[in-house]
Chain A
Amino acid sequence: NAGVTQTPKFRILKIGQSMTLQCAQDMNHNYMYWYRQDPGMGLKLIYYSVGAGITDKGEVPNGYNVSRSTTEDFPLRLELAAPSQTSVYFCASSSRLPNTGELFFGEGSRLTVL
């Protein structure tokens, strides 16, 4: 059972480049999330989705875009990468509202912008 799969696991970008972090889950979860975690810090919510076709901003959405065309996939797009976007990105999913259900996390994607 794969759970939540993130790709790539590591990536180095140059300033101004763009890329997409992929996230896929095979648990038929409606709720999906993108968090970033800076060194020594907690998780900051970037975007979330409560179902296909529905997305909403979290705490730190600037510089990112998302889409949710299917239940399984929730890609995160970085446009014009900046050094401030150097971080570890975690995708997560939940079968129910997070106040009643557990979040399942992917293994993370470590991004460095130079």
Chain B
Amino acid sequence: QKEVEQNSGPLSVPEGAIASLNCTYSDRGSQSFFWYRQYSGKSPELIMFIYSNGDKEDGRFTAQLNKASQYVSLLIRDSQPSDSATYLCAVNQAGTALIFGKGTTLSVSS
């Protein structure tokens, strides 16, 4: 069973701090990795994707991938109360579907 693991949290950070969200995956053949954000009662929306080892930055968000360690993370700089949500890590499975982790709940206090 291919798995995607995340710490469910909650992760609490003060406004303006850096939030660090982590994800590990079991399938070494996975090639693409995604971070989705889900507000309570809403559907998931894509934040970022990453394919290559290293860092990928988009505004306040940075995705980091280490395929050797089977580890992917999301950093949120200058966290805002509006970033409070559940963050879902997703990994492609055989190129045809995404497998999601349980999600990490982030709470940003003002």
Q: Using CB atoms and an 8 Å cutoff, list the residues of chain A in contact with chain B.
A: 31, 33, 35, 40-45, 48, 50, 56, 58-59, 90, 97-100, 102-103, 105-108
Contact of B102 among A33, A41, A98, A108 (CB under 8 A): A41
**Chain A residues, CB < 8 A from B99:** 45, 59
B46 interfacial by beta-carbon distance below 8 Å: yes
- The size of the chain B interface, using a CB distance under 8 A, is 26
- Distance of A35 Cα from B92 Cα, bound (Å): 14
Chain B positions 83-110 with a Cβ under 8 Å from a chain A Cβ? 88, 90, 92-93, 95-103
Is B69's CB within 8 Å of the partner chain A? no
| Residue in A31, A43, A97 whose CB lies within 8 Å of B100 | A43
Classify the secondary structure of A's interface with B: loop
B interface residues, Cβ below 8 angstroms from A: 1, 4, 6, 8, 31-32, 42-46, 49, 51, 88, 90, 92-93, 95-103
Q: A43, B97: Cβ atoms under 8 Å? A: no
- Measured CB to CB, the closest approach of chain B to A106, in angstroms, equals 7
Can you give 27 contacting A-B residue pairs, CB < 8 Å? Answer: A31-B96, A35-B100, A40-B102, A41-B102, A42-B100, A42-B102, A42-B103, A43-B88, A43-B100, A45-B97, A45-B98, A45-B99, A45-B100, A56-B96, A59-B99, A90-B44, A97-B95, A98-B32, A98-B96, A98-B98, A99-B31, A99-B51, A99-B95, A102-B46, A103-B44, A105-B43, A105-B44
Instruction: Give the chain B neighbours of A43 by CB distance below 8 A.
Output: 44, 88, 90, 100
Name which residue of chain A comes closest to B49, CB basis: A102
B88:A48 contact, CB within 8 angstroms: no
